[in-house]
Amino acid sequence: MWNKQAFQYESHVVGTGFIMIFGLHTKANLRCAVVNVYAACNIGEKESLWEGLTTLMSTNLNWAWCLCGDFNAVRCESERKGVSERGSQKKEIIGFNNFIESNFLVELPLVGKKYTWYRANGTTKSRLDRVLESEEWLRKWPMAKQYILPREVSDHCTIVVKCQSRDWGPKPFRTIDAWQMEPGFKEMVKAKWSAYAIQGDNIIKVKDKLKCLKCDLKVWNKEVFGHMETERKIMLKEIEDLDARDAVDNLDDHSRERRLDLIGKVRVANKKIESLARQKARTNWLVHGDANSKYYHSVIRWRRLRNEVKGVHVGEQRSEEPEVVRREAKAMFEERFQARYDFGVRLDNVQFKKLSKEDSESISLISHKKR
């Protein structure tokens, strides 16, 4: 069932509503678990399935997880059509979302149809099938998407997961809020900006200076600002060593001052790291854990996947080629914002009232006195 040169089987678990395979992805050197789900229709059995999967995942936190198949549940009401509302449906939606969020799972971006299950007569349709992945899995394959294929004779559509990287050209200029906390950052930016010798008009100068500044900030971020987590761990280790020495023999004044200085630096580093995570995730939900938790990383990853342009439809053909997407996006905006109608409004013969020179000077005088 799998390529033995890419995946090495270790064990499996067969439970009610799922089959789970554990093994080693030899090419990626990654321990992973793939779960094929076929959930029951009964809400009670679904809840038992979610609890069982949660227990299994909690005992193997460092593994990369991929859960796929027929979950027989939706995440919101818009994922069902032609189905009458029931009290159990809202309970199902809340329970399914809680299962996904509590296990820090991320749903891959969808390409193709909106629904994955269709009743034979076409009156009812739902999105029951999906692919959920853990942060560890997404970290290895960040460009993965789920493609919905034609269902042919089955009432379910086949889902294929693909990981394709596209070159979309230069990225836009962005700044990080936490940079402002770094001493000397503003002075460095001002010095760099003044040193760029760019020729041309003002627009060209700004564009080219931003391009140069982006390159310099990338180097600075890596050399000066990019080692916050490593430096934070080193400082915490030194604080721990000082505490251990203090427990055996009292520290001298110099060591005590050093410990206070380190604690202050760690607090600053924590603020920088949390600011960076909040900006990437665009969330202030600190109640869910600190900025280094799986929660934050899953929110960041999901936001990136959700905002990504997957492709465009040109006629009846779908394309994910960057050049085609750029061309169609440009054409769409040109069509939307160009003036297509002549509303026949003419102001050529309209005589507007004007202020006399005396009134204008009087108003200017009054405004000047109020200042």
pLDDT tens digit string along 315-328?
Answer: 777 787 778 888 88
The sign of the CA dihedral 288, 294, 298, 301 is positive
Looking at the 3D structure of the chain, how many domains does it have? 2
- Asked if the structure places residue 345 within a domain, the reply is no
- Asked if the structure places residue 341 within a domain, the reply is no
Q: What's residue 197's pLDDT?
A: 87
* CA 69 – CA 19 distance, rounded (Å): 10
End-of-domain residue from the set 133, 163, 193: 163
Give 10-residue mean pLDDT values along the chain (371 residues): 82 93 90 93 92 91 90 91 73 92 87 85 88 88 85 85 72 77 86 88 85 87 75 87 84 88 87 73 48 57 67 78 84 80 72 82 69 57
Same domain assignment for residues 189 and 223: yes
Q: What's residue 326's pLDDT?
A: 84
Task: Please list, in sequence order, all residues whose beta carbon lies within 8 angstroms of the beta carbon of residue 199, skipping any fewer than 6 positions away.
Answer: 205
Buried (b) or exposed (e) across 69-85, using 16+ Cβ within 10 A?
A: bbbbbbbeeebbeeeee
Q: What's residue 145's pLDDT?
A: 86
pTM score of the predicted model? 0.56
Same domain assignment for residues 17 and 144: yes
Task: Please list, in sequence order, all residues whose beta carbon lies within 8 angstroms of the beta carbon of residue 286, skipping any fewer than 6 positions away.
Answer: 274
Same domain assignment for residues 53 and 89: yes
* CA 103 – CA 56 distance, rounded (Å): 11
* CA 217 – CA 198 distance, rounded (Å): 18
Same domain assignment for residues 159 and 238: no
Same domain assignment for residues 63 and 154: yes
Query: What CATH number is given to the structural domain containing 141?
Result: 3.60.10.10
* CA 342 – CA 357 distance, rounded (Å): 37
Q: What's residue 286's pLDDT?
A: 44
- Asked if the structure places residue 255 within a domain, the reply is yes
- Asked if the structure places residue 226 within a domain, the reply is yes
How is residue 87 annotated by DSSP? Answer: H
What 3 state SS string does 240-308 have?
HHHHHHHHHCCCCHHHHHHHHHHHHHHHHHHHHHHHHHHHHHCCCCHHHCCCCCHHHHHHHHHHHHHHC
Q: What's residue 304's pLDDT?
A: 66
- Asked if the structure places residue 238 within a domain, the reply is yes
Same domain assignment for residues 55 and 181: no
The beta strands (E) that lie in the chain are given as 7-15, 18-25, 30-38, 64-70, 80-81, 106-107, 110-111, 117-118, 125-126, 129-133, 144-148, 159-163, 312-314, 317-319
Q: What's residue 183's pLDDT?
A: 82
How is residue 76 annotated by DSSP? Answer: S
End-of-domain residue from the set 110, 137, 163: 163
Q: What phi and psi, each to the nearest 5 degrees, are found at residue 340? A: -110, -10
**146: containing domain:** 7-163
Same domain assignment for residues 207 and 282: yes
Same domain assignment for residues 206 and 144: no
Give the CA radius of gyration of the chain: 29
- Asked if the structure places residue 274 within a domain, the reply is yes
Q: What's residue 52's pLDDT?
A: 93
- Asked if the structure places residue 19 within a domain, the reply is yes
Same domain assignment for residues 194 and 141: no
Same domain assignment for residues 41 and 122: yes
Decide the pairing of beta strands 317-319 and 312-314. Answer: antiparallel
Same domain assignment for residues 199 and 130: no
Structure tokens at 52: 């069982």
End-of-domain residue from the set 97, 130, 163: 163
Q: What's residue 67's pLDDT?
A: 95
- Asked if the structure places residue 360 within a domain, the reply is no
Same domain assignment for residues 28 and 149: yes
